[in-house]
Amino acid sequence: MQPKVLEEWKDLAILCAKSAGKLSLEKMNQPYEVNYKTSASDLVTAVDEEVEQLVIDMILKKYPDHGIIGEENRFKGDPSDAETVWIIDPIDGTTNFVHQQINYSVSIAVYHKGEAAVGVVYDPSRDELFHAIKGKGAFLNDRKLELTREVKLEEALLCTSLFWNKKAEQFGIDVIFKELAGKVRAMRLLGSAALELSYVAAGRLDGYVSLQLNPWDFGAGKLIIEEAGGKVTSMGGKPLPFNEKSSVVGCNPSFYAELKGYIRSNMFLNESAVKDE
């Protein structure tokens, strides 16, 4: 892909993310409808849907032949028909948006022929923009991100939601991570996977682990970590798909082998739990 085209995609993705972030901030203090998807902890708001539609309209105005995969499923076409696909999470961390009004993000990724080309994650509440182009590095606003610090298990700050994940409980993985919590420096949870992956790229977290994420959760963050020099795979060590659910391990490169080794060595009886979905 020509560098000029990649820059154009990045510029549009940033414009979309900032426009979406602005809209979310405007709607935050206005009355809006909150609904459940699958449970009381799985929320969607009218703002999610409005923000996604805004981004879709902006993309299709410039690239009518591109496909779009969005969390709220508002794209009317079939994204598999397009070589270039945009993957959107209009508000990643909707529960945080509703309750805290911080720790949520807009995530936009561009994939060409199944390969990550552009990743943008925007935190409207802090005006922090994480972005990357394949082969051109990752940035937080104008600062280049490079993961050069050596990290050992006992020094690591990790992020995971596996402590109360129902599938993790089913296979006993929650117990493994509770034990891991006693071996690392500390555990954190922000509630926005895209933001948590971006924090790994920025060195604010040393690793992030999830048993199952959707492509709009990890599509942009994956590339941002990789372009910062980090590692991102499934829990089984496989490359992440761009259009399917998957477990995710995102990590400082010096810590990846130790973390993945710990996970794999303690899950030999739970192989079915970490198979790529």
Hey, is 54 helix, strand or coil?
helix
Q: Does the active-site annotation cover 89?
A: yes
Give 35-61 pLDDT, tens digit per residue. 766 655 555 678 888 999 999 999 999
Which residue ranges does the chain devote to CATH 3.40.190.80?
153-274
Q: Catalytic one among 94, 108, 173, 263?
A: 94
Q: Catalytic one among 48, 174, 206, 217?
A: 217
Which residue ranges does the chain devote to CATH 3.30.540.10?
3-145
Answer yes or no: CATH 1.10.357.10 is held by domain 3-145.
no
The percent of residues above 70 in pLDDT, for the chain, comes to 88
- On the question of pLDDT at 110 being above 70, the answer is yes
- Which residue(s) pair with 107 in the sheet? 89, 121
Specify the pLDDT at position 44: 64
Residue range 153-274 forms a domain whose CATH class is alpha beta
Specify the pLDDT at position 212: 86
User: Are residues 104 and 192 in contact, defined by beta-carbon separation less than 8 angstroms?
Assistant: yes
- On the question of pLDDT at 269 being above 50, the answer is no
Specify the pLDDT at position 276: 45
Give 190-220 pLDDT, tens digit per residue. 999 999 999 999 999 999 999 889 999 999 9
The 3-state secondary structure of 202-260 reads CCCCCEEEEEEECHHHHHHHHHHHHHCCCEEECCCCCCCCCCCCEEEEEECHHHHHHHH
Q: Does the active-site annotation cover 94?
A: yes
Instruction: Report d(CA 266, CA 89) in Å as an integer.
Output: 33
Specify the pLDDT at position 108: 98
Q: Catalytic one among 56, 59, 69, 91?
A: 91
Instruction: Look up the pTM and report it.
Output: 0.91
Band the pLDDT of 277: cuts 50, 70, 90. very low
- On the question of pLDDT at 225 being above 50, the answer is yes
Specify the pLDDT at position 28: 81
Identify each DSSP E strand in the chain by its residue range: 34-36, 43-45, 67-70, 84-92, 105-112, 115-123, 128-133, 137-140, 143-145, 157-160, 186-188, 207-213, 231-233, 246-251
